[in-house]
Structure 1
Amino acid sequence: MSAVTSRLSKQQEMKLCSMLSCSRLSLLFKGSVHGYTGAAFHQKCDNQGPTVTVAHNISGYIFGAYTSKNYAQTGQNIADANAFLFSFNEREMKKDPLRAFRTYHIKGGRGSTPVTLCDTMGLEEGASAGLDIDDFTSILRGHIQGKYQSNPSMPLQTESPSFCKEPGLKDKIHTVVYVLDSSKVKLLSDKMIEKLAAIRRKANQMGVPQLVLLTKVDEACPSVAADLKTVYQSHSIYKTMQKVSSNLGVTLSAVIPVKNYSQDLELDIQTDILLLNVLIQMLRATEGFFDDLYHEQE
């Protein structure tokens, strides 16, 4: 007799695992095999701990429900604050790939430095797309561990293995850096600006300083492409910096222009100078964060 297997594809199972913050799923019940009856369902699923129920339709959608409580035929209503419903399809999965929260340690000539950079999923216009504001808050507070798979439709739950319940000061974010493509600043929609404003307000409430990394300045201005040293003399780059400052509500000095390494095979001193300036401004902002923290403690 062949083993009973799930209808979920590998990608679909990975998406569910990321939503549930688990490493794998174990199939308990399959209606087409065990029968579409309540008795058959309860025989296989009762008292199995947290479970996720999945259903498919002919349009390619997957629907489901998660509960952290045991299924049991008690005849009583069971309250579960962690329960939720979900739905997705293959097209949405291709448009909205999962993105891991990653940390990168900067190394110096004699080993690691005390500087750690964290990278998250980017923002998107939709209410259930891009980085979730609750996940952003958890990241700032140090609750999210490295390699956590962000899921726009379901923020990290406190009972998840990826949730750090007692983060230390080193686990928290001390400076937030937004990365914007300088050639696309004019294309920012009102919805995206509103979402950025909501994220910025959350960081402000927590006293975390914020900077803006304005990338690809060489693609936004021909004169800068010809001579990177003229980046702070370029009128068009200055106007773009002003627009970013106004839209995001940050000071002009917090908007830092840089050129990306993309097709370059060798290091370029002018590119490195701009990137080093970013790191210096990040360190200064972080020092300001700690100064404020120590003053509050005093």
Structure 2
Amino acid sequence: MSAVSVRARLQLVRDYKPHKDVQHLRILLYGPPGAGKSSFINSVDSALRGKIATRASAAANSGDSFTIACRTYKIQREDKNFYSFVFNDTMGLERGAERGIHVEDIKLAISGHVKEGYTQPPTLDDKAHILVLVIRADSVSIIDDKTVMKMKDVRAAARDKGIPQIALITKIDEACPEVKKDIKNAYRSKHLNQLMETASMNLGIPLNCIFLVKNYHKETDTNNDVDSLILSVLKKIIDYGEDYLNDQNDPDL
């Protein structure tokens, strides 16, 4: 992908303002521990700033979840203001009932109950405007049944509210040698296309709502081709979330 395309996507993101009477488009991330939720936030921050960012604390491996419950992240612009979208990063969705975030907690976050000590009903600004499932490429085929059921429960709650949903498959370079050699091969990879089809079949997510991404992990500088995938996904997230906002007749719904 050319640098021109990256610049064009950057400009579209920089120019974005929600059309409805909300301060920010709210993006809620969920998925298993170590899937790359926090890393995706850092990667978006890196792509937008042109330097590697590590504000969201990412798990070092796929063990216990690192993020505590649900945290909100804003990304600062060059003019010291903030971009017109925020991320809600949640704890990992784990198999056992005693570990990780509970499905009911994610449902509360979807409905806007993310502020400690809130006393009034959540406004449209508080609620999630798009739900993003994040899963690792090497785990797509081996997610246990209990975790899949939890994911489907979360998806059903969002569906009932009309909230759009997409899935991100991360760590694609580790799953495919062709992609590790050249990230531009992401959507050309037969293996990754098979993983997308498996995710669609197992989780009930349409194939055109599943995207591939490589998060920044050990890099010390940003890269145009990596940025291109990240910004392409971010643009889709904004588009789908904006469609949802435009469908809301009352900003306090």
- TM-score w.r.t. the length of structure 2 is 0.69
- Is the Cα contact below 8 Å between 2:67 and 2:90 reproduced in 1? no
Greater Rg by CA: 1
1:138 aligned residue:
108
2:136 matches 1:181: yes
Q: Which runs of 5+ in 2 are unaligned?
A: 1-62
2:61 matches 1:106: no
Number of residue pairs matched by the alignment: 189
Tell me, in whole angstroms, the C-alpha distance in 1 between the residues paired with 2:198 and 2:249.
Answer: 34
Tell me, in whole angstroms, the C-alpha distance in 2 between the residues paired with 1:216 and 1:206.
Answer: 30
What is the root-mean-square deviation of aligned Cα atoms in Å? 2.2
Cα gap change, 1:184 to 1:164, in 2 (>3 Å): farther
Task: Give CA deviations for 1:240-260 in whole Å, capped at 9, x if unaligned.
Answer: 011111111111111110111
3-state DSSP of counterpart to 1:170 = coil
Tell me, in whole angstroms, the C-alpha distance in 2 between the residues paired with 1:96 and 1:258.
Answer: 21
Percent identity over the alignment is 33
- Runs of at least 4 residues off by over 4 Å: 94-98
2:232 matches 1:262: no
Q: Which runs of 5+ in 1 are unaligned?
A: 1-93, 146-160
Tell me, in whole angstroms, the C-alpha distance in 2 between the residues paired with 1:143 and 1:164.
Answer: 10
- TM-score w.r.t. the length of structure 1 is 0.59
- Is the Cα contact below 8 Å between 1:175 and 1:209 reproduced in 2? yes
Tell me, in whole angstroms, the C-alpha distance in 1 between the residues paired with 2:134 and 2:167.
Answer: 6
TM-superposed deviation, 1:97: 7.0
Moved more, 121-130 or 228-237: 121-130
Amino acid at match of 2:249: Y
3-state DSSP of counterpart to 2:74 = strand
Q: How does 1:1-298 map to 2 (within 5 A)?
A: 99-110=68-79, 111-145=81-115, 161-294=116-249
Tell me, in whole angstroms, the C-alpha distance in 1 between the residues paired with 2:106 and 2:248.
Answer: 21
Cα gap change, 1:240 to 1:292, in 2 (>3 Å): same
Tell me, in whole angstroms, the C-alpha distance in 2 between the residues paired with 1:128 and 1:105.
Answer: 30
Cα gap change, 1:234 to 1:267, in 2 (>3 Å): same
